[in-house]
Amino acid sequence: MKRLIVVAMLTLGAIALPATATAAPARTNLFIAHLVGDQETPPNDSLAQGQVIMHLNADGTVSYKLIVANITNVIMAHIHVAPRGVAGPIRQWLYPVSGPPPQLRPGRTDGILGSKPAMRT
């Protein structure tokens, strides 16, 4: 199964490359994306970076953790569903976890920006 999930942040973005893991007895899908500014649409020269780790669970829920470094004044993070280089519609909010409106996290952020144990897609 091949999928692309674009994760967009104010100054970060990336394509999630799927990897598959097997757990007995169910199969679990794991998506990991390294986030850097030049993968955003349009690209930017931000020094911020991050990683999002998502699990597509057997029951159809998604669990995720969004980890960032060297980013300042974050206001939002979300997933776009679109081909590379296209800012498609927002499919899922990651920060703030509850979705809009955007929420300023002032100053520099290093560490977990958002996480959710399981959510319906």
Domain-embedded: residue 121:
no
Q: Of 20, 14, 21, 18, which Cα lies nearest the Cα of 31? A: 18
Average confidence (pLDDT) per 10 residues, the chain, 121 residues: 33 35 56 90 92 91 94 91 89 88 95 84 57
Domains held by the chain: number: 1
Domain contains 83? yes
Residue 10 lies in a domain: yes
CA atoms of 80 and 93, how far apart (whole Å): 9
**120 located within any domain:** no
Query: What pLDDT, on a 0 to 100 scale, did the predictor assign at position 112?
Result: 94
Domain limits at 28? 5-115
Token readout for 61 is: 């829920």
Strand partners, 11: none
